Structure 1
């Protein structure tokens, strides 16, 4: 079930570039005399068509890793590559275009606009990018998450699980190279969480989507292909296809 620590996670298709790669990435906060090393020399490659869960104790650098990999935060050192393209030195305008076209992001809090319908929320990234919004494309992505019949409903008319599926559809409408998910099941009940995890699993298995997901839930992590463990800003362990019990045991050792 377990595998030795590796900087290459998932299965790399055709020997091509990884979907996302971090090379000796560091992210520091504070001053010289009060320096916090949120990431400390992290090198990891996430293969195309793979699903990796990122876990670790509070303050281990999980969300920082996700934000740096997605171009939401600047790194203090090292390189971030998206399908082989170095995005480390990209300016703000280029990063904005990148996030609108090649990166999808799903948050714990859904971040839907309450005054918009499900289909209007899904179409929003295309509108912000100044692109034409094909109604058929929006309906297709809503149908893929099982919500075509609820497309005219507003967030308050949907359950938490349905709102998260709308958020996933919104992240997928631009057909991103990578989907980053930050605690996507953290605000859901267990039944809704299982439904969302099944959807993510199908996206990987059927569509070859690459997913990098931060979670604190061993059951959610066990749905992924592999789990990467962080502690004090460094990768300290890796498990391939672990059970939820194995994930919980490793996490407990780190927290101890």
Structure 2
């Protein structure tokens, strides 16, 4: 499927051409005497129906960018737009609802609850949002990540790759407009990582899902439609469908 088709599908859901947009975003940490600017007037669009990887040296601002774009952190200046709607001045309650209803999160550490089954973990966002939990929908989501036959297993009974697939199903059960992934393959072996990356790519290709992924892995980044490179809190490079070698070379130059 072409990226245009993904954009069309997201437009029908009310997103328009950009799933997320940052306009002149500044984020600082620390006291006046030791102020650190993690994001320095960053302006960037993440197109709807596409997969964007964010890379850069340690301390470049990758995670801060993701957290600000997802409404997990407030910006000090600039604007963050989700589907064209400015969320910069949203209240804490509004941001909580936004993250619950329109945004999905996948992290390196899976963050599954050990006492719950895979099915119960996936149902958790719906229960927290007081939404009706359909067993059929839970089966559908787990089947979409190849985990329908493991729905009654607890995290300790699953491999790392299987736990990450459950985490992806949990993120997708609310049908989010945007999926934010922070190092989703960082704790996986190469085979499990490949499975997770193929799954993310399929979501974009078949359902027009919008994905923003922070990663340090050139192989993972090369699976995305585009790669954005940060250094010292600024966008310094951009590549469309680069190879893993091209990503590694650009990252090496930034780290040098």
* Alignment TM class, shorter chain as reference: over 0.9
SS at the partner of 2:186? coil
Structure 2 residue 222 is matched with structure 1 residue 222: yes
Partner of 2:48: 48
SS at the partner of 1:60? coil
Structure 2 residue 125 is matched with structure 1 residue 128: no
Rounded Cα–Cα distance in structure 2 between residues aligned with 1:157 and 1:30: 42
- C-alpha deviation, 1:64, in angstroms: 0.2
Partner of 1:184: 184
SS at the partner of 1:238? strand
- C-alpha deviation, 1:171, in angstroms: 0.2
State the Cα deviation string for residues 128-160 of structure 1 (Å, max 9, x = none): 011111111111000000000100000000000
Alignment of 1:1-256 (within 5 A): 13=7, 16-256=16-256
- C-alpha deviation, 1:30, in angstroms: 1.2
- C-alpha deviation, 1:13, in angstroms: 2.7
Structure 2: tracts of 5 or more residues without a match? none
Q: TM-score, normalised to structure 2's length?
A: 0.95
- C-alpha deviation, 1:126, in angstroms: 0.4
SS at the partner of 1:33? coil
> CA-atom RMSD, angstroms?
1.1
Rounded Cα–Cα distance in structure 2 between residues aligned with 1:140 and 1:225: 27
- C-alpha deviation, 1:118, in angstroms: 0.2
Rounded Cα–Cα distance in structure 2 between residues aligned with 1:165 and 1:13: 25
Rounded Cα–Cα distance in structure 1 between residues aligned with 2:136 and 2:92: 31
- C-alpha deviation, 1:34, in angstroms: 1.1
Partner of 1:5: none
Rounded Cα–Cα distance in structure 1 between residues aligned with 2:183 and 2:166: 16
Contact 2:108/2:183 (<8 A) preserved: yes
Q: TM-score, normalised to structure 1's length?
A: 0.95
State the Cα deviation string for residues 41-70 of structure 1 (Å, max 9, x = none): 000011111000000000000000000000
Q: Moved runs in structure 1, 4+ residues, more than 6 A?
A: none
Rounded Cα–Cα distance in structure 2 between residues aligned with 1:17 and 1:54: 19
- C-alpha deviation, 1:33, in angstroms: 2.2
Rounded Cα–Cα distance in structure 1 between residues aligned with 2:7 and 2:220: 24
SS at the partner of 1:34? coil
State the Cα deviation string for residues 146-204 of structure 1 (Å, max 9, x = none): 00010000000000000000000000000000000000000000000000000000000
State the Cα deviation string for residues 5-41 of structure 1 (Å, max 9, x = none): xxxxx76835834100000001001122211000000
Aligned pairs, number? 247
